[in-house]
Amino acid sequence: MSSAALLSSILFFPCLGALVILFWARISPAMCQKVSLVCSGLVALATFSFLLPGLPWSFAPYEATVQHGFALDWIPSFQIYYYLGLDGISFPLVVLTAGVSFLAIAASGTIKKHAVSYYILILLLITGMLGVFLSLDLFLFYIFWEVVLLPMYFLIGIWGGPRKEYAAIKFFLYTIFGSILMLIALLMLYFASDLTDPRLEEFVKSDTIIQQTVGSQALEGIEARQADDAVQPLHTFNILALQKIGQLTDQFDEPLLWGYSLQWWAFLLLFIGFAIKLPLVPVHTWLPDAHVEAPTPISMILAGVLLKMGGYGLIRICYPICPEAAQWFAYPVAILGVIAMLYGAFAALAQWDFKRLVAYSSVSHMGYVVLGLAVCSVYAGGQVDSQAWAMGMNGAMFQMIAHGISSAGMFFCVGMLYDRVKHRQLDQFGGLFHRMPTFSGLSFGIFFASMGLPGLCGFIGEIFVLLSTWKFSAVLAIVGSLTLLLTAGYILWTLQRVYLGFEYHGPLPEKLSPATKGEISILGVLLAFAILLGIYPQSLFRYMEATVTQTADALAERLSAKEEPDEQQAQLRIDPLEAPADTKTLLVERVQP
């Protein structure tokens, strides 16, 4: 099977399911769930089959290149292609998406109201999420990014809790604000990019997708440029090409506004857009509301997958395309990351609502992702230390996957309790261990995974991030590691308040029935993955390490090259007082270790 057919069918299979539900006259809610379950199950099976060795389409580990990449003409005159592909960064997230979505649909049994619309929307949502991770064309990425938005708005707004309308509109507004900034950044990058740059010759010749789409045009342009002829610039939306342009040429270094370069602005706009989705601290306030009001399965998807879109955007687009700006912003971003970690943890400590607590823990955990990415100016002998950066990135990626598993599990736990006793007040729980022993045992595992207990998945990511931060700034690493303590604090305290203790003293005690088989299997699957990743992290690293390392190497090389050859700049670094106050010197000052 060609990769085009394979990836497209994975991507649009949920849509097919949605159509089936739509045109199935008088379908019952249970039947809806079954159809969606089969549909998402098949998608999950297909993505997991990539993991198996030996199949013709299996995903080769330890490979840095894009696999199953293909591009079809969509809007060739705007250089927009239907370009999908998998690599070490997107592949784990695709698998996570398929898995979590399947589990979320499995957990949707309690949804009885407007079941047809619910399942249609959730299936569309899955397509959108898969599309975000699969697409390698910036424009296509943006389209899928927005496609995710609409179903989510309705899923929260119709099936949510008491303040659903407020939560839904808040989510919608925050995200769309970010998307508008992203759209502007997207236009900036597109119109600044030019594939006919001679420095890209090697890339243009080697990249099969570029060859297939605009190769001849680009090569002609390059030849003409080498011969000093005037050429129309050849813009591109290809993410990989944009990365190369950012890393090999200075097309994005043009000053744009107020003395800052184009890539500075592009980074800023993109970063805000992704940070909102992530969510980072000043713009995180939509998240607790959305999580609290969303129905359980939607919370699982929201925490398990949607937040990862922000992190993915940072790793895939923000950092590789704008390396210098990334370096300029290293400290602010890192500090924001640490603040998010601490703030999220503190806020979680202060919550009385169980679901809100879990939501704030998400804020805290996603802070690690940002911190891990920000450590891009670690110096080792005048060179940017690509190893430390790769470690940070790996940690961030691992953290995303781990959080996807553990937070989905935690939200499921909360949802299970809420379905039974219709409240989430932490001080009214207690003693669940006696009433629901199996469930409690599994939840302990999930919560410990989230806490970062060694041997479970949360640990690896956090420790990688903190280690690389240590090299970047010891102070930030120390402050950041306080989060470990706080996390342990609120998780343990929660466990104590909810599961331990003598007696359940809240309302509706008679409803606290033991977990059903379905519920146990959902939690069990999640816990199994948490343990697998915890004790054998290589099972994940083997897929993403190569790509991440390559990215980090390329960026580090770019930044080192920028720093080194210029004698004058070295001079500046020694005596910053006499330097003219332009951006470059600011940059140099900032990156001084």
Partner 1 sequence: MSFYQLIVNAKWESWASTLVYLPEIVLCLTIVILLLLRLPRWGSRISSLGIALVGSVIAFVLSIPFETTAEANPEAATTAQPVSLLQEETSPNPPDIEASSEETKAYKQPGDTIFSGLIVYDGLTIFFRQLLILFVVALLILMGLTGIPDRDSGADVFTLILGATVGFSLMVSSNHLLIAFLGVEMASVPSYVLAGTLKGRRIASEAALKFALYGAGAAGVMLYGMSLMAGALGSAHLPTMAENLAQLTANGVDDRQLVLFLGGLMILVGLAFKLSAFPFHFWCPDVFEGATAEVDAFLSVASKAAAIGLLLRFAIGISGVPGEPIEAPAAVAQATSTEEAKNTFDILAISQTEATSLTFAAQADQEKTKLEEKPVTDPDSSVVPIQDLIVFLIGLMAALTTTFGNLAAYGQTNIKRLMAYSTIAHAGYLMMPVAAAVALLSKDQAGAQEAVASVVVYLIAYFFMNLGVFAIIALLRNRIRSEEIEDYAGIVRESPGLVVCFGILMFSLIGLPPLAGFLGKFWIFAALWEAGLITLLFIGGLNTFFSIFYYLRVLKVMVLSPEPDHRSPAAIPIISWPGLYVAALTVPVAILLVFWEPIRVYSLWAAADLFQ
Give the torsion sign (CA, 33, 38, 41, 47).
negative
What are the E-state strand segments in 315-386? 379-380, 383-384
> Which DSSP state fits 26?
T
Q: Using CB under 8 A, which of the segments 76-84, 241-249, 289-297, 352-360 binds partner 1?
A: 76-84
**Would you count residue 568 as binding partner 1 (CB under 8 A)?**
no
Query: In the complex, what is the shortest distance from the CB of residue 150 to partner 1, in angstroms, rounded to a whole number?
Result: 6
CB 499 within 8 A of CB 443: yes
What DSSP element (H or E) covers 202?
helix 201-206
Reduced to 3 states (helix: H, G, I; strand: E, B; else coil), residue 280 is: coil
Distance CA 194, CA 452 (A): 45
Distance CA 359, CA 343 (A): 12
Q: Using CB under 8 A, which of the segments 187-195, 417-425, 467-475, 524-532 binds partner 1?
A: 187-195
Binding mask 36-75 for partner 1 (x = CB under 8 A): -------------------------------------xxx
Phi-psi region of 90 (alpha: psi -120 to 50; beta: other; left: phi over 0): alpha
Instruction: Name residues contacting partner 1, limited to 197-226 (CB under 8 A).
Output: none
* Nearest CA-CA partner of 344 in 243, 480, 240, 473: 480
Query: In the complex, what is the shortest distance from the CB of residue 80 to partner 1, in angstroms, rounded to a whole number?
Result: 8
**Would you count residue 122 as binding partner 1 (CB under 8 A)?**
no
Q: Using CB under 8 A, which of the segments 2-10, 92-100, 152-160, 519-527 binds partner 1?
A: 152-160
Total residues contacting partner 1 (rule CB under 8 A)? 34
Euclidean distance between the first and final Cα of the chain, in Å?
52
> What count of residues does the chain have?
593
Query: In the complex, what is the shortest distance from the CB of residue 169 to partner 1, in angstroms, rounded to a whole number?
Result: 6
CB 355 within 8 A of CB 365: no
Q: Using CB under 8 A, which of the segments 150-158, 328-336, 522-530, 550-558 binds partner 1?
A: 150-158
In the bound state with partner 1, the residue whose beta carbon lies nearer, of 164 and 308, is 164
Q: Which of 143, 219, 349, 453 binds partner 1 (CB under 8 A)?
A: 143
Query: In the complex, what is the shortest distance from the CB of residue 147 to partner 1, in angstroms, rounded to a whole number?
Result: 6
**Would you count residue 272 as binding partner 1 (CB under 8 A)?**
no
In the bound state with partner 1, the residue whose beta carbon lies nearer, of 9 and 550, is 9
CB 102 within 8 A of CB 111: no
* Nearest CA-CA partner of 32 in 136, 123, 163, 140: 123
**Would you count residue 520 as binding partner 1 (CB under 8 A)?**
no
Query: In the complex, what is the shortest distance from the CB of residue 250 to partner 1, in angstroms, rounded to a whole number?
Result: 16
Cα–Cα separations (whole angstroms), residue 130 to 125, 336, 362, 530: 9, 28, 21, 22
260, β-bridge pairs? 257
CB 307 within 8 A of CB 362: yes
Q: Which of 177, 331, 379, 418 binds partner 1 (CB under 8 A)?
A: 177
Q: Which of 142, 271, 412, 472 binds partner 1 (CB under 8 A)?
A: 142
What is the contact surface with partner 1 in residues (CB under 8 A)? 73-78, 80, 117, 142-143, 146-147, 149-150, 154, 157-158, 164-165, 169, 172-173, 176-177, 180-181, 183-184, 187-188, 190-191, 230, 257
